[in-house]
Amino acid sequence: MITVLAGGVGGGRFLQGLVQVLPQREVTVISNTGDDLEMFGLHVSPDIDIVTYHLAGLSPDEQGWGLAGDTFHALEALGRFGHPTWFHLGDRDLATNLHRTVLLRRGQTLSQATAEIARAFGLEVTILPMTDDRVRTRVVTDEGELDFQDYMVQRQADARVRGVQYEGVLEAKPAPGVIEAIMEAEGVVLAPSNPIASIGPILAVPGVRGALVQTKARVAAVSPIVGGAVIKGPADKMLSGMGMEVSAWQVGWLYEDFLDCLVIDHADAGQERRIAGLGLDVVVTDTIMKDRERKAALARTVMDAIRREAK
Amino acid sequence: MITVLAGGVGGGRFLQGLVQVLPQREVTVISNTGDDLEMFGLHVSPDIDIVTYHLAGLSPDEQGWGLAGDTFHALEALGRFGHPTWFHLGDRDLATNLHRTVLLRRGQTLSQATAEIARAFGLEVTILPMTDDRVRTRVVTDEGELDFQDYMVQRQADARVRGVQYEGVLEAKPAPGVIEAIMEAEGVVLAPSNPIASIGPILAVPGVRGALVQTKARVAAVSPIVGGAVIKGPADKMLSGMGMEVSAWQVGWLYEDFLDCLVIDHADAGQERRIAGLGLDVVVTDTIMKDRERKAALARTVMDAIRREAK
């Protein structure tokens, strides 16, 4: 059993590789829910859906979010009623969110609703929200405190970041199975997701970081920072805004207390010794998941790193 | 001021004629809400929306319900999650229902939400739901008691009707403005809508029938039954199932206590004397609203009948 902590697109792409290398039913995903939001009265879970759609093979490759070929007729019509339309929910994507909201209103937990939706998409991967409780990632910027999607999608990440808060996280409990998935795994992988906005909220759920420290499983992370830049999303702006380096080393530093191995790109081979200085194994490979083959190759490299005997 | 009691398609078509003859702001519609339903967690008000879309010029002429050119991508996707898809909510139509549901959850009444939606479609007609309370038309059939939309849309009206119940109607209050719209109107028109399933629930709201009896306004009805058949919908099956004639005379008989004038089609000219025997004025005209011109002509005839001096 392999457990993957994942945000959105980077997580989804990594998982597309992993399920080429492992049977789906041996994979558990712990998904960030810190950028969940209420939109048109619906409970929207962007990261869970991105992961689900990627695993179902329904994601548009370039864009990363939503369903390939989706239309936006309901959204346009909602705009005419004065609703904000900056969060691009397609018509079929809306159906997922309507369904989730119906299940939650019937009294299901987010875990139960997530499992039911994953099954409806034919997945055998176990997708767990990090928590069934309400956690909201708030980005502290020069323009005030913003919800994560507001910061990233509506403002296109152009506000200067000063810090991040995970609202509600201290009261949150890990969703059922989250701690077990870390403690009982053969290996744990932190997908190449935003360390502040995607992995950060998961680590902040009480008990999760402790489990990562204690687990006998090897813990590997794939750096989302390549050559001092980010492949997708605002991780670079968030790291630098918070006074940190935009580097693979910084990613290793953030996870240093529980990480065994950091997987970095050839572009960052020069940082290998510095990262090793954090007490981490370093694997240098091609981390740019451009196509199906490279996704599988990265997953294979990560699995090799995990299956190396524990230090 | 003219007040129109209306169900769905027949009401919508009649109103398309009326607003060619009168300024929109002189028209008030009292809409049936007995076939409202909950679908995908949304509050769906089919008759209010049909009237709104007709007045906005957005209805598909033949089909009558929904928005012309709408797509059904969300509905198809909801079907894959196991939701019933017999109620054909298009993507843009879904947006209207999402918006209504958001407004209701924010604490607005159905009256307020209806007015806001009508404004968003640029209408100056006042559209009032018959009540802000929950009333559900239940059709008693040989196969059991069915919700109206279940009977009409899902079962295509093929169950034998024994009777109709307006669940909740005894506890319902007329929506704000409904009684005033009847008492203070220059004339009241019962649109050519199903007398059992569309007009029936409105008349059953406590106070409405009494207001129709008491008002000084002339009250006219357009018979939805033409030549012993119905133009659209299951009125014929419902009337005959309940042991009544499928005839214009029967329509007059149902409204006899408050009606001044029944407008019937040339096809039913033979019933003129029998209807007059109910104490009603009878106007014989072309009631088939095939095109824009004939809609306006019918509205003009009805307005002439209303403006004739009261008996």
- What's the rounded Cα separation, in Å, for the pair A90 and B91? 10
pLDDT of residue B155: 86
Reported as a single tens digit per residue, the pLDDT across B196-212 is: 999 999 999 999 999 99
> Mutating which of A42, A44, A71, A91 best tests the B interface, going by the most B Cβ atoms within 10 A?
A91
**Given A73, A78, A80, which is nearest B98 (Cβ)?**
A78
Name all domains of chain B by residue range, CATH numbers in brackets.
1-68+110-135+175-311 (3.40.50.10680), 136-170 (no CATH)
Q: Which two tokens stand for residue A104?
A: 């939650």
Q: Are residues B181 and B28 in contact, defined by beta-carbon separation less than 8 angstroms?
A: yes
Q: Are residues B29 and B48 in contact, defined by beta-carbon separation less than 8 angstroms?
A: no
Q: Which two tokens stand for residue A22?
A: 């492992």
CB-based contact A102 B40, cutoff 8 Å: yes
Q: What is the ipTM of this complex?
A: 0.91
**Given A73, A98, A99, which is nearest B92 (Cβ)?**
A73
Reported as a single tens digit per residue, the pLDDT across B55-107 is: 999 999 888 899 999 999 999 999 999 999 999 999 999 999 999 999 999 99
pTM of the model: 0.93
Q: Are residues A223 and A263 in contact, defined by beta-carbon separation less than 8 angstroms?
A: yes
Confidence class for position A62, pLDDT limits 50, 70, 90? confident
Q: State what percent of residues in chain B have pLDDT above 70.
A: 99
The mean pLDDT value of chain A amounts to 95
CB-based contact B74 A74, cutoff 8 Å: yes
The mean pLDDT value of chain B amounts to 95
DSSP alpha helix (H) spans, chain A: 9-21, 46-55, 73-80, 91-105, 110-120, 148-149, 178-183, 199-204, 208-214, 235-241, 248-255, 272-276, 292-307
Alpha-carbon Rg for chain A, nearest whole angstrom, is 18
In this structure, of A140-154, A206-220, B45-59, B132-146, the range with the lowest mean pLDDT score is: A140-154
Which residue, B24, B28, B33, is CA-closest to B166?
A: B33
Per-residue pLDDT, averaged over B40-48, amounts to 96
* Backbone CA torsion sign across B39, B42, B44, B49: negative
CB-based contact B73 A91, cutoff 8 Å: yes
> In angstroms, what separates the C-alpha of A115 from chain B's closest C-alpha?
12
Indicate whether A308 pLDDT > 90: no
Confidence class for position A309, pLDDT limits 50, 70, 90? low
Strand partners, B42: B39
Reported as a single tens digit per residue, the pLDDT across A239-294 is: 999 999 999 999 999 999 999 999 999 999 999 999 999 999 999 999 999 999 99
- What's the rounded Cα separation, in Å, for the pair A158 and B68? 40
Reported as a single tens digit per residue, the pLDDT across A125-167 is: 999 999 999 999 999 998 899 999 889 888 888 889 999 999 9
Indicate whether B310 pLDDT > 50: no
Closest residue on chain A to B81 (Cα): A120
Residue A140 carries which side chain, given as an amino acid letter? V
Indicate whether B309 pLDDT > 80: no
